[in-house]
Structure 1
Amino acid sequence: MSLDTTHSERFDVDEIRRGLQTDGIIACKGAFSRDWVQQLREDVDAAFQEARSRPGGAVGRGPNRWYVEIHPEDVRGFVDLVEHPWVRTVCETMLGPDYQIVEVGFDTPFPGAKVQPWHRDFPSPPETKNERRLTSLAFNMTTVDTTDEMGPFEIAPGTQWEAGDDFDHEQFPPESEYSRYEALAQRKYPQMGDISARSALTIHRGTPNRSQLPRPVLVLGVDAPGAGNDAHHDLAVTHGFWEQLPESVRSHLSCPIVDELQPIVQKHDIEGLVMG
């Protein structure tokens, strides 16, 4: 079994809530076996080659840095991932029992990727600004053992609550704030098998990849009911795949069920990241 069943015990929901409400990021170390992650890497590499072979298949997130959105069945371990007890517990704790999976994709900084500008992934919604309530989460899973030379993810803990009304596009804070974020910044060095959950509103950036290796990271996006991020993604499953899914997964997927999957054309470039 690829799932590490040592993590099937009950998790501390107070600790989960506290971590996401304070730092804005939490992690589960060793959630999956290295063999499972190696299979994930094979699927990600295949998806990247396919995406780069057609117009709009991959979107730039800065120099030598690409994002690709994929369908659930492009990842052989999709059910393992979304059924992992830590993933389910985090989603239920922060987003409620009716959370919805809205995104599967991956970010890859290649050798030569530059530092990104500080940013959040989308504007802060009213529920977060006014009620201090998170309505979405991003789970990240590395496919490599991250080192400092690979350009690790850097995050400014606690910044998920900043309103961002004065940010460019409500996503990119002014450079006058950079020194404050740098004082807060933490670099993350996940290893194969680790998984993290964060608010994508927490200010973050990718750092320069000075190595000779790419650093692909799987992204799983999850919404609370009504959060609306599904409008920005094109998740779909085939009838055959849907029929094989357990009901515990189906109940969290409201995407179209189709006869044949269509390659996803990425919807949006992020100008600030590209220019950065």
Structure 2
Amino acid sequence: MVQTIPTAHFTTDNLDQLAADLNRDGICILRGLLDQKLIQGWAAAFEQLFQQRQQQPGGLAPREQARYYLTLPWVAPFADAAVFANPVILAVLDRVFAQEYHLVQLGADVPVQGSQYQEIHRDFRPLFSDQIVTPLYALAVNFPLVEVTAENGPFQMARGTHVLSRQAGLAKIQSGEIPIESFYLQPGDVMIRSPLALHRGSPNRTNQPRPMIVMGYAMHWLHTPKVELTLPHDYYSCLPKPTRELLRCQVVEQLPFQQIETYINFKY
């Protein structure tokens, strides 16, 4: 069973259990971690950003039918160290990453009405081959800006498949030995998962988008050419040194006015 904790107060034992779940299952959920007012602020800003990007050529990356990805600009409310450097999230990551790691991605996955089931896939290749178990060298930290229900496109994953070969994992899913599970989330919940676990997006059957924030963390040696962070110099220079060291980013004097999305090929 996926470990969940009903409050935002996490003890050392809680964190140890969440890390153990993440290592074993490829996923854990931190219930109620983020403040509701914070989520409401992100949701309002995201709705405006998404509408703006829809009108901009190249502003959204298509991820199959009626499903989009967009990189979030490094501006308020998205540029928030209380989120990307949240001490509870980092405490879990510290327990599972064997070396230093960086935040390399801040974006959103958005299925809208008309989206379909994705092909079951991984977001990363194994380090060497399917015959050698890959350690947790990259993790996705997700949190929704709306309630995730059975109707609006819940994330679906087969637990434990991050340590199996793709072929073995698919065979166990097909036979029913390992089920594909839907993960329902409330605003404020945070999901940490291995991108090597076999998973898919499901259809959003409602008339409202279902934005899921994606923060990608990876060990310091991993090359991540498909995602990038761009920070304004004024913001970056004011961060404490440990926070600056967490970020793998390009620092510019001024953020670009328009963002062209290129993150499309993501499935393995």
TM-score (norm: length of structure 1): 0.84
Displacement of 1:102 in angstroms is: 0.1
- Counterpart residue number, 2:226: 232
Match for 1:47 among 39, 49, 55?
49
Q: 1:39 deviation in Å?
A: 0.6
1:36 positional shift: 0.9
Q: Number of matched residues?
A: 261
Distance 2:212 2:131 in 1: 29
Q: Does 1:135 align with 2:129?
A: no
Q: Which residue in the other structure is 1:249 paired with? A: 243
Are residues 88 and 272 of structure 1, via their aligned partners in 2, closer, same or farther at CA, if it must alter by over 3 Å? closer
Bigger helix fraction:
1
Which ranges of structure 2 fall in alignment gaps of 5 or more residues?
Answer: 1-6
Instruction: Map residues 210-225 of structure 1 onto 2, 5 A cutoff.
Output: 210-225=205-220
Deviations 1:134-190 (A, max 9, x none): 1100000011112111121111101112333x69xxxxx87x776247951111110
Partner of residue 163 from structure 2, selected from 150, 161, 164: 161
1:6-45 deviation line (CA, Å, top 9, x unaligned): 5364354432332122210001000012211011112222
Partner of residue 266, structure 1: 261
User: What is the distance in 2 between the residues matched to 1:87 and 1:37?
Assistant: 16
Distance 2:75 2:175 in 1: 41
Instruction: Name which of 177, 186, 194 aligns with 1:191.
Output: 186
Cα 1:63/1:228, change in 2 over 3 Å:
same
Cα displacement (A) at 1:58: 1.0
User: What is the root-mean-square deviation in Å for CA atoms of aligned residues?
Assistant: 2.7
Contact 2:173 2:179 in 1 (8 A): no
Quote the Cα distance in structure 1 between the aligned partners of 2:129 and 2:244.
Answer: 26
Do 1:120 and 1:201's aligned partners in 2 also have CA atoms closer than 8 Å?
yes
Aligned to 2:68: 66
One-letter amino acid matched to 1:70: L
Are the structure 2 counterparts of residues 185 and 246 from structure 1 closer, same or farther at C-alpha, using a change threshold of 3 Å? Answer: same
Does residue 179 in structure 1 map to residue 174 in structure 2?
yes
